[in-house]
Structure 1
């Protein structure tokens, strides 16, 4: 913890790695303290934001307050799972590896959706929470900011380095604006550090710089989350295309069979998934593409049902014709109807309307004879 405010501890190990019990316990204890303190801080920040007189300024604060609370809840939920796995220290290697997977795995599976959708790990969520809290305190001009100038400068330097790491993860084609933002922060921090080393009063420069750094880091983490979702959505869409392509071919075969076998047959079109083109990578285009995939899936479902129902109707009438023929095998009066039915069943496509009329006529005769087909 920094002086006065919660600061998340460094997370031990790596995804699925084995970490000694003592390190896990120390981290869990520190995280539980962080969780309780951050909850109190967020309550104070929320109250302070509600008391801002200017409506536009208050509205500008709301998204970060909401995101901060969402992050806190996600962290709290994950800590509950870690505590359950820890089980008061009754852990072996398997449980320890599960804990580091819970620490370093995403709080939300990419591809899922929510009001604040963030596919980030527990340490990333905590860093983002720390940055947002610092930014909100600065913007709300709350008293009691950390007076340790050296500590604040060190924290800013660490944050700028984290931002550099985030920038490096952005694809080259989209990195330029993030590089500019990082370069600006790096230069401003170097200037403030040099001024402080010369004995200048930099208190008025630190708060805006901290706010800007928090905003940049938040935006980069959110963007990284969006990329994770886009990647997961792209993979999911690619799987859906493969599945719908196979399903479409099957429904098309079913349609050909139905049209060749029965009359009247449905005349529904069978959508061609390939007509949608390649799966796009841009998030907005991908969203629209997946909506079109959904429409294709629904259309395939309707076509499948209609063509299958036509073939099922032929099968049902065939079974009814067989049953009534067996029931009236000794009745010469229905022989002509039975022969017409057999001839019709051998004809392709089979006229379902006429077939049903013949079957119903034989069933009616059976009932008059007191025979239950």
Structure 2
């Protein structure tokens, strides 16, 4: 590997949940600490250079990439902190080693700079590679490798950017790859043309700037799109799991509602939503977002329905308990027991009735309680 003064992310050990030898984990953690510190300094320099651009349009063009780079770095730094806490100065067993590789290869889920609510659902190694690519692109656009880099150096950096774009295009699903492939072909063709002109001795300085900007924008958009696809996969799995859970809850709440309607009157009249009416979990990110919102509404509606039907049944149980408490309190007072015998019989009949008239039962129970208190009986 060619030596470079810039941070280059180290290869990550193992795979999700794998048990990796401690020495290999230690090498990785040490390398990640160095990467984090070096990249932080690079980003500070890039941020300063971006703010010092004299042209407001240029500043506006690079700001999203600087912000995204900072977001990626923060996500990596936060995850590295968890890794070091789990490592605990090497006091790790198999469970801790597996937990470390799970943290390495699991999703960072860090909020992204573009799009409200969007998240970068990438693993730690992916986030580091994306950070490397963005930093390289920004250095080229902000001219941090020299005040006026030679044409061959700029062409070489452009070729590296376009090769990274080719790698990103290969990750796009075949059904959606057309537009991304067209962007790549256009950039590749433009670079080939500019390179050919430069070899013939033409002045290509005016052509390189727009091409570098277009390449950087395309790479950033592909990075964010790849993250969105990864996030959509996470959301799809989450939605599928929630559908299964809400289906089971819905069946249970419907059974609860049927029990309440058979045991009490008046019973709640709330409908119990059926999550299967929403149809299958969609794959399109926009449709998936709307689908998840619908699942949240179903969840809230089920909670309300469950609470109301359960409260009706609990009210019946509470009134029956209060009726029993009055009867037990008057057990040793034959006169008082005789005075409320009719009320007690009516209340018991209502408790045993299907459905129980809660309004009448409550009135009878309250009448007995009032009589008992008047007689000085403690309930």
1:328-343 equivalences under 5 Å are: 328-329=330-331, 330=334, 331-343=337-349
Q: Which residue matches 2:354?
A: 348
2:119 maps to 1:117: yes
Shift of 1:254: 1.4
Query: For the residues of structure 1 that align with 2:364 and 2:21, how far apart are their CA atoms?
Result: 81
Pick which of 18-27 and 290-299 moved more: 18-27
Query: For the residues of structure 1 that align with 2:329 and 2:95, how far apart are their CA atoms?
Result: 68
Q: Which residue matches 1:250?
A: 252
Query: For the residues of structure 1 that align with 2:89 and 2:148, how far apart are their CA atoms?
Result: 35
Would you say the 8 A contact 2:143–2:149 is kept in 1? no
Pick which of 49-58 and 323-332 moved more: 49-58
Q: Which residue matches 2:368?
A: 362
Query: For the residues of structure 2 that align with 1:132 and 1:316, how far apart are their CA atoms?
Result: 65
Q: Deviations over 1:197-238 (max 9, x none)?
A: 667776665555444433333222221211111111111111
Q: Which residue matches 1:227?
A: 229
Q: Which residue matches 2:8?
A: 8
Q: Secondary structure at the match of 2:120?
A: coil
Query: For the residues of structure 2 that align with 1:27 and 1:207, how far apart are their CA atoms?
Result: 37
Query: For the residues of structure 2 that align with 1:27 and 1:150, how far apart are their CA atoms?
Result: 35
Query: For the residues of structure 2 that align with 1:145 and 1:234, how far apart are their CA atoms?
Result: 47
Would you say the 8 A contact 2:62–2:138 is kept in 1? yes
Shift of 1:339: 1.4
Q: Secondary structure at the match of 2:293?
A: helix
Q: Secondary structure at the match of 1:76?
A: helix
With structure 2 as the length reference, what TM-score do the two structures score? 0.82
Would you say the 8 A contact 1:167–1:178 is kept in 2? yes
Q: Secondary structure at the match of 1:175?
A: helix
Q: Which residue matches 2:134?
A: 132
Shift of 1:267: 1.2
List runs of 5+ in structure 1 lacking aligned partners.
none
2:171 maps to 1:165: no
Query: For the residues of structure 1 that align with 2:280 and 2:233, how far apart are their CA atoms?
Result: 15
Would you say the 8 A contact 1:106–1:122 is kept in 2? yes
Q: Which residue matches 1:48?
A: 49
Change (3 A) 1:239 1:287: same
Query: For the residues of structure 2 that align with 1:148 and 1:22, how far apart are their CA atoms?
Result: 43
Q: Deviations over 1:22-78 (max 9, x none)?
A: 776665555444433332232222223223344444333321111111112223334
Pick which of 338-347 and 203-212 moved more: 203-212
| Equivalent pairs, count | 371
1:1-373 equivalences under 5 Å are: 6-11=6-11, 13-15=13-15, 30-83=31-84, 102-108=103-109, 117-142=119-144, 144=146, 147=149, 156-192=158-194, 208-329=210-331, 330=334, 331-373=337-379
List runs of 5+ in structure 2 lacking aligned partners.
none
Change (3 A) 1:98 1:266: closer
CA RMSD of aligned residues (A): 3.6
With structure 1 as the length reference, what TM-score do the two structures score? 0.83
Change (3 A) 1:145 1:189: farther
Would you say the 8 A contact 1:107–1:122 is kept in 2? yes
